[in-house]
Structure 1
Amino acid sequence: MPTPDYRVRRATSDDVPATLDMKLAAWRETYATQRPASFFTAEAARRKQQVDWWARGLAAGAELWIAEDPAGRIMGCSGAGPVQDDDADAGVRYELQMLYVLAQAYGTGLGLRLLESAIGSKPALLWVLEDNPRAQAFYRKHGFAPDGRREPLTDQWAGLHEIRMVRSAG
């Protein structure tokens, strides 16, 4: 079966609503067993607020990368930026802040294309759910390793933990 011809490009504010829909669909696919249905309902209810926040971020210079299939459907997204102050101890300056791909695009190389679009081969760090072995395996394959930091999540994510993974220079 041929691999779909995905187009990866920088998002514009016009792409934000569809990107948020894709992100919520990816969360449903990935976290359905870890989060109650009310979690997804609450996220859907915050859509307007999120659209405005993301659009303001893009207008201020934030980079968001999206991947579209040949029909123009958004199949994945990624974004990165400078590390947050509390992550400075990792010794890198760049953080992969998000990478989501819909399940139907797993195994197509789309995740790698989005990773490369967001951070290239730079040393970087990221936070990933402790209970997401698929994502952790993907990041290990691309040079990231857990560094021992583990943080509890709060609010709607309470009860889950994230681990930090770092990719050093070289």
Structure 2
Amino acid sequence: MDFTIRPASVDDAEAMAHMHVQSWRESYGRLLPPEFFAKQEAALPDRIERYRTSIAAGHSRMLAHGPDGDLVGLGASGPGTDEDSPCDVELFMLYTLERVHGRGVGQALVDALIGDGPAYLWVLDDNPRAQAFYRRNGFLPDGKRQLCDPSWYSLPEHRMVRPAVGH
């Protein structure tokens, strides 16, 4: 599949918000009730504004666009936010649309966001596809677990960590 990876600009905020919610619906539709997604749809104007503000403040996001210019993936990384961060870099989010799964988009985003350096992330316990992808990228569970925010129906998640790759 042909796709391009580039940093997000403020002008991308609307497409990002819509794609983000669509990817949640595709990834978590079996885990979360319809009310969750209705609330996310209703909050799109706020999400768009938060993206604009965040990008304008220098918090980068990486985007993947398909051959027709449509947004098919997004991700973000930065300084770790856990009090007991196992390393300096956290992969905050990585989402691709279902129609591009297995086509290298997620891998290209990971490579652009964190390269081959050490990093950590949080993943839902009931997300085997994502966990397998992260394992292929050298991430392993470190035993740290928590529940998501109540707005996410307190779904359980765990932390995965990887050392620098090939070092």
Same fold (TM over 0.5): yes
CA distance in structure 2 between the partners assigned to 1:58 and 1:147 by the alignment: 31
Post-superposition CA distance 1:124-146 (Å, at most 9, x none): 00001010000000000000000
Instruction: Give the 5 Å matches for 1:87-166.
Output: 87-88=84-85, 90=86, 92-166=87-161
Percent identity, aligned pairs only, is 41
Letter in 1 for 2:110: L
CA distance in structure 2 between the partners assigned to 1:87 and 1:48 by the alignment: 34
5+ residue gaps, structure 1, are none
Alpha-carbon deviation of 1:156?
Answer: 1.9
Alpha-carbon deviation of 1:158?
Answer: 2.1
Contact 2:96 2:105 (8 Å CA) reproduced: yes
Letter in 1 for 2:56: A
Post-superposition CA distance 1:138-168 (Å, at most 9, x none): 0000000000001011222123111000011
After TM superposition, the runs of 4+ consecutive aligned structure 1 residues lying more than 4 A away are none
CA distance in structure 2 between the partners assigned to 1:20 and 1:51 by the alignment: 6
CA distance in structure 2 between the partners assigned to 1:78 and 1:54 by the alignment: 12
Match of 1:33 in 2: 30
Give me the TM-score of the superposition, normalised by structure 1.
Answer: 0.94
Post-superposition CA distance 1:51-90 (Å, at most 9, x none): 11111111111110111111111000011010014242x1
CA distance in structure 2 between the partners assigned to 1:105 and 1:9 by the alignment: 17
Letter in 2 for 1:37: P
CA distance in structure 1 between the partners assigned to 2:67 and 2:31 by the alignment: 32
Counterpart of 1:83 (choices 80, 83, 93) is 80
3-state SS in 2 of match to 1:86: coil
The worse-fitting range, judged by mean Cα deviation, of 20-29 and 153-162 is: 153-162
Give me the TM-score of the superposition, normalised by structure 2.
Answer: 0.95
CA distance in structure 2 between the partners assigned to 1:78 and 1:14 by the alignment: 16
Alpha-carbon deviation of 1:19?
Answer: 1.1
Instruction: Give the 5 Å matches for 1:25-64.
Output: 25-64=22-61
- Whether 2:21 is the aligned partner of 1:15: answer no
* Alignment root-mean-square deviation, CA: 1.0
